């Protein structure tokens, strides 16, 4: 009989009893390419509503005891379905007038990951990235091969016209016009942003990260940025989860998402210091800019960015939704 308390204690540990459960946390972003001058009251209201809807969808999963993987996927689907973000429905156009979509998802508890790049007919790229992780032996699939795989596992392909929005088409025409006029700076800083992402901590203490994007306006055929590159724009392990948004080439070169998590895992820096060092120092030193959302296993949040603003939202340990756009 004396052993019974020890037996019960062991059973509670193995069963993941609520007494030892982590407090769920969800953080999302809708891109760091926010210009203060372009943010009208109407746009701000619509974006805030979208961010709040994404938080409600993702946190609802966590609140019901669901996994961090399911939560980040749910949140991102809401943002992919909105025409106001550069992912899914609102994706930007390539130089050739097409939409090429990329996405990735990663499970911090197991280091499993799935990613897709350069697809044209997948309504919710984050869901295909999850399918690559769950239903294939691969991590990254691209283009026609990724779409063939999608059909094989039951995805319906949409007409490419689904992704077209007039705002994104006008942006491309403006950049092409400047390019034709010999203004090489037409690939200026604001065309490099526009990504949606989510990181989450569930009751089991597991972290996950996911990112989805249409890339950069006027990108050349087949260009792939950081979002679907595990370790660059998306990464999660047992200590940390990160989703980035910014000039992808520099996030790839600095392996930004992994670098943040590595600094945390090694115990050399807190999450806030690690994220700040990479986003505010390493990437700008190389010539890039942008932002990121990061979350650690204790539920601490970091959201650094070095642009005018970053669409972002979070439900922290207080269990309440918060939304912000500009630095102030």
Instruction: Return the active site residues.
Output: 195
Rg (CA), the chain: 20
Residue 148 tokens read as 């063939």
Q: What is the DSSP letter of 267?
A: T
CA separation for the pair 235, 209 (Å, rounded): 6
Q: Are 119 and 212 in contact (CB under 8 A)?
A: no
Pairing of β 101-107 and β 207-213: antiparallel
CA separation for the pair 257, 295 (Å, rounded): 11
Q: Are 212 and 233 in contact (CB under 8 A)?
A: no
Q: Are 90 and 84 in contact (CB under 8 A)?
A: yes
| Beta strand spans in 25-179 (E) | 25-29, 101-107, 113-119, 140-142
CA separation for the pair 20, 62 (Å, rounded): 15
CA separation for the pair 165, 290 (Å, rounded): 24
Neighbours of 320 (CB within 10 A): 10
Neighbours of 265 (CB within 10 A): 17
Residue 234 DSSP SS3: strand
Residue 102: CA count within 13 A, CB half-sphere: 28
């Amino acid at each position: 009989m004396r052993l019974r308390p020890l037996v019960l204690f062991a059973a509670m540990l193995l069963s993941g009893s609520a007494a030892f459960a982590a407090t769920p946390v969800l953080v999302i972003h809708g891109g760091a390419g926010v210009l203060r001058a372009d943010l009208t009251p109407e746009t701000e209201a619509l974006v805030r509503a979208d961010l709040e809807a994404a938080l409600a969808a993702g946190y609802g999963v966590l609140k019901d005891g669901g996994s961090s993987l399911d939560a980040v996927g749910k949140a991102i689907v809401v943002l992919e379905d909105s025409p106001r973000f550069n992912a899914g429905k609102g994706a930007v156009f390539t130089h050739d007038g097409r939409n090429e979509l990329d996405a990735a998802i990663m499970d911090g508890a197991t280091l499993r990951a799935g990613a897709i790049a350069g697809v044209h007919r997948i309504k919710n790229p984050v869901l295909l990235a999850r399918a690559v992780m769950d239903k294939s032996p691969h991590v990254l699939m691209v283009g026609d091969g990724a779409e063939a795989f999608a059909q094989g596992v039951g995805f319906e392909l949409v007409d490419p016209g689904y992704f077209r929005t007039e705002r994104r088409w006008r942006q491309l025409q403006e950049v092409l016009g400047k390019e034709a006029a010999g203004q090489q700076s037409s690939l200026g800083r604001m065309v490099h942003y526009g990504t949606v992402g989510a990181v989450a901590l569930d009751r089991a203490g597991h972290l996950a990260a996911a990112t989805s994007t249409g890339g950069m306006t006027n990108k050349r055929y087949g260009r792939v940025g950081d979002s679907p590159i595990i370790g660059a724009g998306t990464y999660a392990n047992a200590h940390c989860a990160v989703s980035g948004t910014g000039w992808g080439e520099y996030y790839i070169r600095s392996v930004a998402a992994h670098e943040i998590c590595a600094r945390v895992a090694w115990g050399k820096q807190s999450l806030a210091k690690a994220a700040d060092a990479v986003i505010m120092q390493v990437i700008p030193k190389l010539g890039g800019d942008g932002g990121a959302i990061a979350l650690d296993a204790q539920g601490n949040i970091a959201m650094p960015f070095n642009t005018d603003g970053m669409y972002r939202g979070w439900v922290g340990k207080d269990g309440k939704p918060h939304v912000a756009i500009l630095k102030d």
